[in-house]
Amino acid sequence: MEVRELAVPGAFEFSPRVFPDERGLFVCPFQEEGFVKAVGHPLKVAQLNHSRSRRGTIRGLHYADVPPGQAKYVYCSRGALLDVVADIRVGSPTFGVVDAVRLDPHEFRAVYVPEGLGHAIMALEDDTVLSYLCTTEYDAGREHGLDPLDPDLGLPWPAGVEPLLSDKDRAAPRLARAREEGLLPRYEECLTHYRRLRENPAHAYSTSAH
């Protein structure tokens, strides 16, 4: 398993070995030992999400309140997608930095998105299948979104692909408005949460700990 930290600190790309033979192939998109070595703590899995999308579909840019937030481990088992991570943590030295990774079922790269970062994907082919492990269950009251077409975010969507958004994502606020209204995660609170994860992962996700 090869690991690369993205331009957004704390987010990682994982590239597993693929073993093809005459029957097909075998691959391990998630490996705990390599994950813990890179990130510094285990991945707590509370929910597995699965989606299928038409070409051009954008899902995001999504994030959740920290603590506890919601981290994601993302991979693509069919089609192809562009996975985008944005630093939206107010006070972060890399606030506004964006990075992207192409995910597909050929190299089986995966992306880890820690709590407090914005996350979005665009399907590059019809019938693209996305699966991701989540550290917390969905909580509508703590989940938020930003306009994925906001020019201030400058997400690197490929030219020539018509964006297809849900009504909810299309109506999401732009970055500047969300910041003015105090809706974005704060960098110091994220750092405190990351430290708790390294010291005691179970305690970090306990609502009584905050």
With vertex at residue 203, the alpha carbon angle to CA 197 and CA 209, rounded to the nearest 5 degrees, is 110
State the catalytic residues: 62, 132
C-alpha distances (whole Å) from 170 to each of 9, 53, 82, 148, 174 are 27, 16, 18, 8, 10
| End-to-end CA gap in the chain | 35
Residues 6+ apart with CB under 8 A from 6: 12, 13, 85, 99, 101, 111
Burial class for 102, CB neighbours closer than 10 Å (0-12, 13-18, 19+): middle
Q: What secondary structure letter does DSSP report for 207?
A: G
